[in-house]
Amino acid sequence: MSVKANTGPDDLGDLSGNETNWPLEHRDVLAWLVSRKSDDQFIDVVFAEMCERLVRAGVPVARGALFFDAHNPQWLGARILWQKGRTGADFRTFDYGVEDRPDYQNSPMFEVGNGVGEVRQRLHEGVATAKRYPIYDELAEGLYTDYVAWPLNHTRGKRHAVTFATKAAGGFKPEDLEYLRDLLPVLALVSEIRLKNRLARTLLETYVGPHASEPILAGATTRGSGFTVTAAVMIFDLRDFTAISDTLPRDDVINLLNSYFDVLAEPITSNGGEILKFMGDGLLAIFKLSDPNAAANLFSTIKQVHLALEALNSHNEQAQMPLLRHGIGVHLGDVMYGNIGAKGRLDFTAIGPAVNVASRLETLTKELGRSVLLSSAFAKFAGETELLEPLGTFGLRGLKDTIDVYALKGS
C-alpha cells in the first residue's frame, strides 16, 4: 500500500499558473468536465457520467465513489457510488457520529480525512499488503485488483474524497493514475458548486420550508416580495411552557420541545400540509385549498397528532418528565407569505387575517377547556358536521366581528 502526505493545493493541481504541468496531456473527460453544462444540477448524475466516460476513454475504472460532508439536519454526509454495468449511481447517507465509529476509523477515508494526499492499495493476488482495511477484503472478494483514494479540497478548508477501483489484470497502470489525477482539480470545482447549491436548498428547506425555499432560490429576496395562498390555517401552542422552562434544565427543555415538534411535524407533512413557522413553543401550518382533500387531511392530522402526543406523554411519564398539553386553532382564508423585516435583516414569514383568527381561536381553547377550536368558515368548507360540535358565537380579542366557533368532538 502506498500513502502520500498532503503537501498543499498542488496535490490536486493549480489551475491558476502556467508554470505547472497540469494537465499532463489533453484528456477528453477533463475537457467534458470543464465544459459541463450549468443546468446539470446533481453531482451524482455528473459523477456517474464521468465514470462512464472514463471507461470509454480506456481508463479501466470499474467502481467510483465520492464521499462528502453535507451537514444536513438529519445526516452528516453521503456517499455516491458508481459501479460499471449499473445504471446511474447509488446515494447513501451517513448519520452524525459516524466519524467516531470503528468502521470509519478503520478505513482509507479516515486517512484521507486526516491529511493524507493519496491512498493506494493493490488488491490482486501475490501483492503483499502493509495494512488491511475491511473495504480491501470486500473489494478483493468482488475481484477488484486495485484501489486508490484522493482528497477533494473545497474552499474554506472543506475536505471530501473520491475513490476509484479497477478489475483490470495487474491493477491501474501509471498512465491510468495520471489520467485520474488530472481530473481532480476540476472534479473538486464541479462538485463544490453542486454541493453548495444542494446545501443552500437544504438550509432553506430546513429553516423556511419547501414552499418558501423555491421562490427565495428563484430570487424573491427583496423586502415586501412574496405571495398569497388560500388555505386552512392551523396554529398549535403548547400549554404551560413557561412553567416547564422555569423548572427543567435547559437541555431537557430543548429535548422536550423538539419531541413535541416531532409529534406535530410528521402528521402535518405526511398529510400534505406545510409548516410555515415555528413560533417559540408554537407552530403555524397550512393546508392549501388547491388540494381537494385539504379538509380531510387536516382532520387526519389532528387525529394522528393526538395519538402521537399520547405516546409521547406515556414516554414522558415513564421518564418522569412533564406531560404535554396543547391547543389548536383552525381557520380558513388568505395567508400572505413573504419577506418582512428591516432593510438588512428579513424574515420569510406569514401574516394576514386568517392567521390572526386561527391564533385567537387557539387562545380561546384555554378559556373553553377544549383542545381544538375551529371557525365557522372552516366548518362550512369542511362539511364534516358529524365531527364538529357548535359552541356558539364568540368575540375574539382584537377582532371587530364575532364568529361562530366549533369544537372537534372528543377534544
Enclosing domain of residue 17: 2-207
Average pLDDT over residues 53-69: 94
Identify whether residues 186 and 294 lie together within a single domain.
no
CATH, residue 397: 3.30.70.1230
Identify whether residues 167 and 66 lie together within a single domain.
yes
Identify whether residues 271 and 184 lie together within a single domain.
no
What is the tens place of the pLDDT at every residue in 137-181? Answer: 899 989 999 999 999 998 888 889 999 999 999 999 999 999 999
Q: Which of 172, 207, 242 is the last residue of a domain?
A: 207
pTM: 0.67
What is the pLDDT at residue 21?
67
Give Rg (Cα) of the chain. Answer: 28
Identify whether residues 180 and 249 lie together within a single domain.
no
Identify whether residues 200 and 222 lie together within a single domain.
no
Q: Which of 142, 176, 207 is the last residue of a domain?
A: 207
Identify whether residues 221 and 344 lie together within a single domain.
yes
More confident of the two residues 392 and 26: 392
Pairing of strands 345-351, 282-288: unpaired
What is the tens place of the pLDDT at every residue in 244-273? Answer: 999 999 999 999 999 999 999 999 999 999
What's the mean pLDDT when you consider all of the chain?
86
CATH, residue 122: 3.30.450.40
Q: Which of 207, 238, 265 is the last residue of a domain?
A: 207
Which residues fall within 8 angstroms of residue 344, CB to CB, at 6 or more apart? Answer: none
Average pLDDT over residues 367-396: 90
Which residues fall within 8 angstroms of residue 170, CB to CB, at 6 or more apart? Answer: 124, 145
User: Considering only CA atoms, which of 194, 188, 163 is closest in space to residue 61?
Assistant: 163
Identify whether residues 17 and 86 lie together within a single domain.
yes
Q: How far apart are CA 184 and CA 150, in angstroms?
A: 8
Identify whether residues 82 and 193 lie together within a single domain.
yes
- Candidate ranges 7-21, 76-90, 215-229, 353-367; pick with highest mean pLDDT: 353-367
What is the tens place of the pLDDT at every residue in 211-222? Answer: 777 777 777 778
Identify whether residues 182 and 273 lie together within a single domain.
no
What is the tens place of the pLDDT at every residue in 1-50? Answer: 555 544 344 444 333 333 456 666 778 899 888 886 556 667 888 999 99
Average pLDDT over residues 220-225: 78
pLDDT band at residue 71 under the 50/70/90 scheme: low
What is the tens place of the pLDDT at every residue in 289-311? Answer: 999 999 999 999 999 999 999 99
Q: How far apart are CA 187 and CA 22, in angstroms?
A: 14
% of the chain residues with pLDDT over 70: 90
Identify whether residues 152 and 299 lie together within a single domain.
no
Average pLDDT over residues 52-81: 88
Identify whether residues 81 and 230 lie together within a single domain.
no
User: Considering only CA atoms, which of 223, 312, 302, 295 is closest in space to residue 260?
Assistant: 312
What is the tens place of the pLDDT at every residue in 85-122? Answer: 998 888 888 877 777 888 888 889 889 988 899 999 99
Number of domains into which the chain is organized:
2
Q: How far apart are CA 316 and CA 68, in angstroms?
A: 37
Identify whether residues 196 and 306 lie together within a single domain.
no
